């Protein structure tokens, strides 16, 4: 597959914040005060020096009708999940590895470092591989997320193992998280959005 090299926006032009009006301008302000601030705290780049949004944040600005609902889902995951922060990042990196999504893997490697996932484990997750640096629960979460993202199902044996560790609610939370990042990776990959240099 040939990839388009069109800069930090991939196939989508980066929107100039000085030219945004109405709902787009309001959404830009919301993104800057929430997700872009979180990106900076987490150690990854979410905007250019000129303030243009990169990664999935630029496509969000193109859909002012749907993006607020997606942001509400993200906020609900952040405040309502039963998954601990390390398991959360293991799941996200596992989905990103299946999708081979450069920006997602770049961003969530930084978040995983911040929440204490060992570097060797992060590198293994990015490659879609097992790591003994993960706890047994994290290894099950990786296998569950990987199998669901790649095979679109989870076999009975793995399901029972994951249910024993995370409980029914934990598995529902995990499936929601997989879905959240399937959509994120779809946005990034459809528009061929790269990781920053």
What angle in degrees, to the nearest 10, is found between the helix axes of 67-80 and 22-31?
A: 20
Of 78, 98, 126, the one marking the end of a domain is: 78
Range of the domain at 61: 17-78
Q: What is the pLDDT of residue 23?
A: 97
Q: What percent of the chain has pLDDT over 90?
A: 96
pLDDT of residue 5: 53
Report pLDDT for 1.
44
Alpha carbons 67 and 36: distance in angstroms, whole number:
15
Say if residue 145 is in the same domain as residue 57: no
Same domain? For 49 and 143 the reply is no
Query: Is 72 a member of any domain?
Result: yes
* Average pLDDT rounded to a whole number, residues 50-63: 98
User: Are 113 and 159 in the same domain?
Assistant: yes
pLDDT confidence band for 3 (50 / 70 / 90): very low
- Indicate whether 134 and 156 sit together in one domain: yes
Exposure letters 28-43 (e unless 16+ CB within 10 A, then b): beebbeebbeebeebe
Number of domains in the chain: 2
148 shares a domain with 127: yes
Mean pLDDT of 167-191: 98
**144 has pLDDT over 50:** yes
pLDDT digits (tens, 9 = 90+) for 32-50: 999 999 999 999 999 999 9
Q: Which of 60, 78, 96 is the last residue of a domain?
A: 78
Rounded Cα distance, 143 and 43, in Å? 27
Residues 61 and 119 in one domain: no
Same domain, 70 and 143: no
Pair 55, 112 in one domain: no
Measured between alpha carbons, how far is 52 from 28 in angstroms, rounded to an integer?
Answer: 9
The verdict on residue 2 lying in a domain is no
pLDDT mean over 133-145: 98
pLDDT for the residue 43: 97
Closest CA to 55 of 12, 2, 116, 91: 12
Residues 70 and 106 in one domain: no
């Amino acid at each position: 597959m040939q990839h388009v090299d069109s800069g930090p926006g991939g196939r989508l032009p980066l929107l100039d914040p000085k030219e945004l009006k109405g709902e787009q301008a309001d959404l830009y302000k919301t993104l800057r005060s929430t997700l872009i601030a979180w990106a900076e705290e987490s150690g990854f780049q979410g905007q250019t020096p000129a303030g243009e949004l990169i990664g999935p944040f630029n496509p969000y600005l193109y859909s002012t009708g749907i993006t607020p609902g997606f942001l509400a889902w993200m906020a609900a995951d952040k405040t309502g999940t039963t998954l601990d922060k390390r398991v959360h990042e293991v799941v996200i990196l596992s989905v990103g590895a299946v999708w081979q999504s450069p920006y997602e893997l770049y961003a969530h490697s930084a978040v995983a470092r911040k929440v204490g996932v060992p570097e060797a484990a992060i590198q293994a997750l990015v490659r879609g591989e097992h790591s003994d640096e993960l706890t047994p629960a994290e290894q099950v979460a990786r296998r569950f997320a990987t199998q669901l993202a790649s095979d679109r199902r989870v076999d009975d044996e793995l399901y029972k193992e994951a249910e024993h560790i995370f409980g029914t609610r934990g598995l529902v939370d995990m499936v929601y998280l997989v879905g959240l990042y399937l959509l994120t990776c779809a946005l990034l990959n459809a528009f061929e959005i790269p990781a920053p240099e």
